[in-house]
Amino acid sequence: MSLILENVSKSVDGQPWITDVNMTLEPGSFNVLLGRTLAGKTTIMRLMAGLDKPTTGRILMNGVDVTGVAVRQRNLSMVYQQFINYPNLTVYENIASPLRLAKMPKKVIDERVHATADMLRITPLLKRFPAELSGGQQQRTAMARALVKDAELILFDEPLVNLDYKLREELRAELRELFRQRNCIGVYATTEPNEALALGGHTAVIHEGRLLQHGRTPEVYHRPNTIETAEMFSEPPMNIVKAKVTESEVTFDETVHFQLNADLRMLEPGQYNFGVRPSHIGLVPHADDDLELPVIVDLAEISGSETFLHVRNDHMNLVLHLSGVHEYSVDQKITVYFPTHKLYAFDLAGQIIHAPHRLTGV
């Protein structure tokens, strides 16, 4: 089954929520909707499901216009961030409920329920009622109910938020494999760039109701088409620094200079916005063309086994994404290393001009 959104817009009380979205999802594909809270991800999913009708545009499934077709007449499942289960049914019966509605044989129902429960690590819970489960266990039950049926389209609205880290990692890999096997379409909404990278497949970057870019996840990440996309697909957001390019060098704030390297020689002289990912700036040099920058610490934000280091000097403000715990004092003077071979170049309108070639990791 293919799913196509053609010039889809949605307005509520005269306010645009979604604007001119064009997207094609192929059979067997796993697709991530990446955007901040209130970007429009849930609205797009509701339009895909038939829960809402677009103000303009149309939606096609297998080439058939289903814009006005009700959700009950579509073969799909949806899982929300806030789990929904039938409180008076056991976990087994919750999972089996869509199969019973489809009047499947008891043996087939039993096999599918147990296979899905095994995948989601909830087989020991099948005889319990939802009130006896933790939040994560209830969410896994809701996911199992969506996955157990042969839906052509399965929509996940941030379903792993309530699960522990290890289980999230396992389920991400299993979800990708599931969609390859079933040849159905999966759509997964998230606010987290790293989750989109982990899920792979294709990513659609959504911002303020607009589709910024849609394509294979590694391509969208490594080759963002605009500054907006680059900032959305980076956690923390990509650092943007204004610069001037001459025939021989790059200058930040008319003061910090470095020679044009092989990656940047294709740029015409002029003004640009350069972008560098927080994870690519380091505390030690990694390449001969790393630019040494003296900076002052504004904040060392420790999050688990990572540190987001906010620094500044007279010419720029930067954020570093560092592995491990790094403790610094406010106003402490340190040196950071700026990788000139990993710079993105955007024109002043924010369009991509150059993406680095020597990229590794995230």
Name the pLDDT band for 136 (thresholds 50, 70, 90). confident
Digit-coded pLDDT (tens) for 324-337: 999 999 999 999 99
Share the mean pLDDT of the chain.
91
Q: Would 3-231 and 236-354 be classified into the same CATH topology?
A: no
Ramachandran category for residue 198: left, alpha or beta (phi over 0 → left; psi -120 to 50 → alpha): alpha
pTM: 0.88
Digit-coded pLDDT (tens) for 243-262: 999 999 999 988 888 988 88
Phi and psi at residue 339, to the nearest 5°? -80, 100
**Has residue 340 got a pLDDT over 70?**
yes
Burial 172-186 (b: 16+ CB within 10 A, else e): beebbebbeebebbb
Q: Using alpha carbons, select from 129, 53, 64, 119 the residue that is nearest to residue 90.
A: 129
Mean pLDDT of 263-276: 93
Alpha helices for the chain (secondary structure H): 41-49, 91-101, 106-119, 135-147, 165-182, 193-199, 217-222, 227-232
Locate the domains of the chain by residue range: 3-231, 236-354
pLDDT for the residue 218: 94
350: exposed, middle or buried (Cβ count in 10 Å: 0-12, 13-18, 19+): middle
- Which homologous superfamily is 236-354 in? Nucleic acid-binding proteins (2.40.50.140)
- Whole-number Å distance between alpha carbons of 230 and 310: 19
Least confident of 174-178, 288-292, 328-332: 174-178
Cross-strand partners of 320: 309
Q: Using alpha carbons, select from 37, 57, 35 the residue that is nearest to residue 47.
A: 57
Q: Using alpha carbons, select from 281, 276, 278, 277 the residue that is nearest to residue 336.
A: 281
* CATH code at 3-231: 3.40.50.300
Helix (H, G, I), strand (E, B) or coil at 280: helix
Residue 249 or 79, more confident: 249
